Homo-oligomer: A and B are copies of this chain.
């Protein structure tokens, strides 16, 4: 009991590094852009856990590029713990040997290189996570020692303004700074007075005005002109067979043309079904431009956002009754809280998938791309810790014929998890398969488990252009498979459907075709869309929405 242990090694190690870095750090924690590489060499050590901030909507790209320029004999084998690796520089770090191990959530355009580098031994994969799960590990066993973050502005004291795209910053900074780590921020601009303080200067160690504004991509913008009639038919099915059937008020819409079609059909088909005020009143969602018509028509009470979306800045600021905004009037996004609400508070997740197996497991993995999960598994699952009821959640729970086998005579609700796909997807690849490509990927990349985006016991509904399979109403795995075959059309998987069984499933309302739901397929055309192109979205917004150049053709 009288040991002479040292209990502040983390703090003294950090103090030592910061002493080395102090020559580069001026008043207000400012560092000159040209000293960035030297700063990183001063504060980073081999095998450190390092986070480079970056998610769908903003990237600490200058800091990533700078890290690539450090002396590789001094800094190597870093363990990167970060949401996403979408930039070439993120993988170049592994190519160069500066980084060695990766724990992440989303690969984006670098997914192929992640798989390749694993095979070649250039990259050791920790695990693939969902965002909120990775944030959780920041506070347990994957705490960054050094975090390279980004913000719009800093003031002369080092306070940060993360503004429209706050996203992951609070989670990263808190985990790092309160575990005696080091936080370095790139900002677009240093100003005298911030619109609002988002991160106190006390939580930041160095601020760099980067030569270029940070990289940002409009990932959640879908041009209505590209929506096809098959999307519109699926959207009609979803609206009548699911939204109306369960009275779904709160939800998240995954990315894709099906959900964009649904958004654009709220003021048309949704209105016709009498859903206004009864559906889609509360959403966890990035500021999707395709939501503008529904918002203008008064459908939505509240939207809380993971991140921002390029071009939506002014629109959001002028619709502060709907969006979360700061005292300065600009959006407050926060991925940790949006995902928390997405996991626990919403009644439905609807998104697309690439492949489903006979058990309902779905995946966006292909054999040679470690794509990651992003946020989908966190929202596309039945949150087991949820305890508050809603009519939607209770109805879906009551439908389950096999609940008693699981928890005995005890009622429980269930989140709606809807997977939409065309029977044949991109390149006419079938969406229903006997075995997921995720198995091949697991083998190729040496994963412990095939990377399943959403597990079969979590999926409640599958929507294709053939109809809806109500998986929550299936009493066993065999019925589940049969219901999926019934909506799998002319895929090899679908051709195995037994017509008699399909008939029985339709009678039992476990499978519903457009006809069963009273939907006229002829009406599934682009007249259903409240806005048919980007320009009409701008018009709906009263000129407030400013689409990025690549979406403008007028």
Contacts and interface: CB of A to CB of B under 8 A. Distances in A.
A452 B410 contact: yes
B382 A384 contact: yes
A180 interface: yes
B201 A387 contact: no
B477 A408 contact: yes
Contact of A7 (B322, B381, B410, B540): B322
A357 B140 contact: no
Interface in A122-141: 126-130, 132-133, 135-141
Chain A interface, >50% SS class: loop
A141 B456 contact: no
Contacts of A381: 384-385
Contacts of A550: none
Contacts of A406: 456-457, 477
Q: Which of A137, A138, A284 is the most central at the interface, judged by chain B CB atoms within 10 Å of its CB? A: A137
Contacts of A177: 326-327
Contact of A408 (B325, B336, B361, B384): B361
> How many subunits of this chain does the assembly comprise?
2
A524 interface: no
A10 to B, nearest CB: 5
Nearest to A448: B389
A196 interface: yes
A336 B340 contact: yes
A483 interface: no
Contact of A337 (B1, B171, B359): B171
Contacts of A129: 387-388
A140 B344 CA distance: 10
Interface stretch (A34-42, A313-321, A422-430, A490-498): A313-321
Contact of A10 (B171, B321, B332, B345): B321
A260 interface: no
A174 B337 contact: yes
21 contacts: A7-B321, A9-B321, A11-B320, A11-B321, A103-B388, A126-B388, A129-B387, A133-B344, A133-B385, A133-B388, A135-B337, A135-B340, A136-B341, A139-B284, A139-B304, A139-B337, A139-B341, A358-B408, A377-B385, A387-B451, A406-B456
Interface of A: 1, 3, 5-11, 103, 126-130, 132-133, 135-141, 143, 159, 170-171, 174-175, 177-180, 196-198, 200-203, 249-250, 282, 284, 296, 298, 301-302, 304, 318-322, 324-327, 332, 334, 336-338, 340-346, 357-361, 373, 377-389, 394, 405-413, 448-452, 455-458, 476-477, 539-540, 542
